[in-house]
Structure 1
């Protein structure tokens, strides 16, 4: 039978195998191994130690996968006990200058990638600093690179970006300063549409060069940033805002208010805002009061900065809201949530109240919200540890369109909540019940066997009976433990 299958048909069959079976394919025969490599488009490689002597093995391994288009390389210390997807285990041979040694090794790894992966489009290199020279070599070989993630660049520069004409998505963890005294004044436009920068310091120079050239930016993420660059860079920051659709500010307290103010002044297209651990009450209130009608998604983790005034402003100014996510918002009360729910009842599709003690403080809140938000499709009540069955059940009776429910860490729930979901949520496809110690194995089994549309379940493997394991295998239900 094997001889009757041409390579194209065999490749199509192998691509449809589940991961558990696919890993054994190379052991069948040499032909199957070659065909399997040719249909692998994604690789995740971990180095258990930083050692140049592993490079030949790394390069040889990459050469076996000529069609790989997505590659992630992570450098882990020798003491890391995690199981590597691919391991190049050698005895460490450390240099006295560890940082220099790491940088040289990173450059050699990039050169190896450049020579073996001409079809690479998505590259995540989380294994140390790289040089602009190595990035130029990568750009000359991987001409279709569209997504790139790096930890740091030494010496720091952004000018190498001009050699990646197809790059749409850039993520850089360790931002730094570079000499901008010779900054050219040509306004060459970069193709970047998504940009993620971490750890920008207030006085970092040269960022203005980037801001002025990111006029096509649609998504911006700033993480643990103290600024957007020095004075010159800050004045150029507004150049990237007019077309922005998504903004994420994570732990950027010192700059959050300033960024939101300029966003309200210069952006007419913002669709999604995520704000975690940053800003002030007044600054956020001013932004919501001035925001444009395009805003659809709000995601806040502001334990002591978000209150009912903000929810009232959202109800008044953001009439087309489709997603609201609140996490650890201690000052929000049931009154504010009810007012918001009544105002935007028709359009809200996603609601998340993660670790929000208002659920436990005000019995009946979920019942009222369920009656107002009957079109909800996604519900996340994770880490409300004392959430009782009756509160959740009373909400589920009204929310019959749910397809995704997350209840991770809700220790007060029992099997009764799961059975209610089975009776009321006929469209359910995804559920997370990890760390719900009140839900037993027999209830999980009954739920799986009687949920017609379930496709993904987050649950501990210890709660899966033999019958349940057989069933999920036959029905191709994904279990995430």
Structure 2
């Protein structure tokens, strides 16, 4: 058979194999068959993840290795710290590796470069060597300039991590010198670690006139004093905003969105916020929010949920995580108000109780995704009431629900005939026999998360025969 298959046909077969599988053959296995299969496996591969360090890799050796992957379009490289053996300059190692990538991957469209900060020189090399680059994630150090972005005209998604400096340095606002206007094609911007007073962001916000998605993580500012007006212009067309651990600027961002943005349809706030600021945002917003994701243990209360129920009745996706101050009554009122449109519901560690289940259990007829993970008070009887109306459910997560037993497994495949993905990790009262019965009887199942100790030989066989992706730990 190996001699009958030509290279082109075998490459196509390798492309169609799953990237990973618990019980069946995957691309990681076929590369071990022979040198020919290894060569064709590499030439058919379009994405790659690598972990390198100065102790086990040199830029020339990386270039040589990458040359075996002519169709590589997506690359993720993680650089570990090393002592710099073999004469490598550790301080310059990330720049050298990035230059090697630029010279070896002309078809690259997406690059995630997890390392110490890089300098503008290899970034400029990317612009000439990888003209198709549309996604880039890198680290920068202060002081910094963003002018190199104009040489990446195809870039649509940019992620920047701003590393702290050991001592205060004199900021150089290089981007404000001279009249240099630009209009970047960026649609998604992910920024990690902006400090209050950072220079250069005025030019960045001015240049992001097409921005649709903004993600801020651990930021306590949006730049220096000149950046505020530019940020307003940048925010007008935003459709998605994510604020993770940005407590000191959440109020400011929300108020600017209310004043200037009418197109927002998705909002995520994690870990820090302001109770009053959030309420003002909800009650005064002018947009039709479709997705709301909140993890505010100390800042979300019942009156916020009542405001959400009144203002955003068209929500299709609602996620609450560890919102300890909300009660059963607040959850019930909010979910009932939007149940006809709701397609995704996540209530993680929110103390889901009997009253909520009894009242809202018949209100999830359009629900496609349900996540009730880590609700330890949830028991079989209430869980069955919820599933009774979830005829369209595709994805279900009950990870860490210690009150659920084998009876809940029976309810799942009896009530939800269209289930495709299920997470039953850390459900200590669900046993191997119930898992086996579920794998055998759930016809549409394509993915299951479960402990390896709960997989019987019969479960493994049926999972393999039905091409079910089993994720174990």
TM-score by length of 2: 0.93
For residues 462 and 181 of structure 1, do their structure 2 counterparts lie closer, same or farther at Cα, with a shift above 3 Å needed? closer
Q: Which residue of 1 aligns with 2:78?
A: 74
Report what 1:160 is aligned to.
Answer: 148
Instruction: Give the C-alpha shift of residue 471 in structure 1.
Output: 1.1
Aligned to 1:405: 396
Which residue pairs with 2:258 in the alignment?
Answer: 264
Residue 364 of structure 1: CA displacement? Answer: 2.9
Q: 3-state DSSP class of the match of 1:274?
A: strand
Say whether the 8 Å CA contact 1:389–1:414 is kept in structure 2. yes
Listed as ranges, the matches of 1:404-423 within 5 Å are 404-423=395-414
Using a 3 Å threshold, how does the CA distance of structure 1 residues 53 and 355 change in structure 2: closer, same or farther?
Answer: closer
Superposed displacement of residue 132, structure 1: 0.3
The corresponding residue for 1:15 is 15
Where does residue 116 of structure 2 map in the other structure?
A: 128
Residue of structure 1 equivalent to 2:168? none
Aligned counterparts of 1:155 and 1:226: Cα–Cα separation in 2: 17
Q: Could you tell me how far apart the structure 2 residues matched to 1:198 and 1:57 are?
A: 31
| Corresponding residue number in structure 1 for 2:274 | 280
Which of 74, 91, 106 aligns to 1:118? It is: 106
Q: CA deviation at 1:154?
A: 6.2
Deviation at 1:373, TM superposition (A): 2.6
User: Does 1:248 pair with 2:242?
Assistant: yes
1:247-396 counterparts in 2 under 5 A?
247-357=241-351, 359=352, 362-396=353-387
> Does the alignment pair 1:43 with 2:48?
yes
Structure 2 counterparts to residues 440-479 of structure 1, below 5 A:
440-479=431-470
Q: Is the contact made by 1:146 and 1:167 (CA closer than 8 Å) also made in structure 2?
A: yes
* Aligned equivalent of 2:65, options 61, 67, 75: 61
Contact 2:176 2:203 in 1 (8 A): no
Q: Which residue of 1 aligns with 2:39?
A: 34
CA distance in structure 2 between the aligned counterparts of 1:102 and 1:352, rounded to whole angstroms: 45
Distance 2:179 2:304 in 1: 42
State the TM-score, normalizing by the size of structure 1. 0.92
Whether the 8 Å contact between 1:250 and 1:278 is mirrored in structure 2 is: yes
> Shift of residue 179 of structure 1?
2.2
Give the whole-Å Cα distance in 1 for the aligned partners of 2:313 and 2:194.
Answer: 34
Give the aligned CA root-mean-square deviation in angstroms.
Answer: 1.9
CA distance in 2, matches of 1:251, 1:33: 44
Q: CA deviation at 1:102?
A: 4.0
Q: Partner of 2:85 in structure 1?
A: 93
For the pair 1:232 / 2:196, whether they are aligned, the reply is: no
Deviation of 1:455 after TM superposition, in Å, equals: 0.6
Question: In structure 2, how many angstroms separate the alpha carbons of the residues matched to 1:103 and 1:312?
Answer: 54
Deviations 1:391-413 (A, max 9, x none): 21121112222111111111221
* Matched residue count: 461
Unaligned runs of 5+ in 1: 79-90
Deviation, 1:452, is: 0.5
Q: Distance in 2 between matches of 1:102 and 1:156?
A: 21
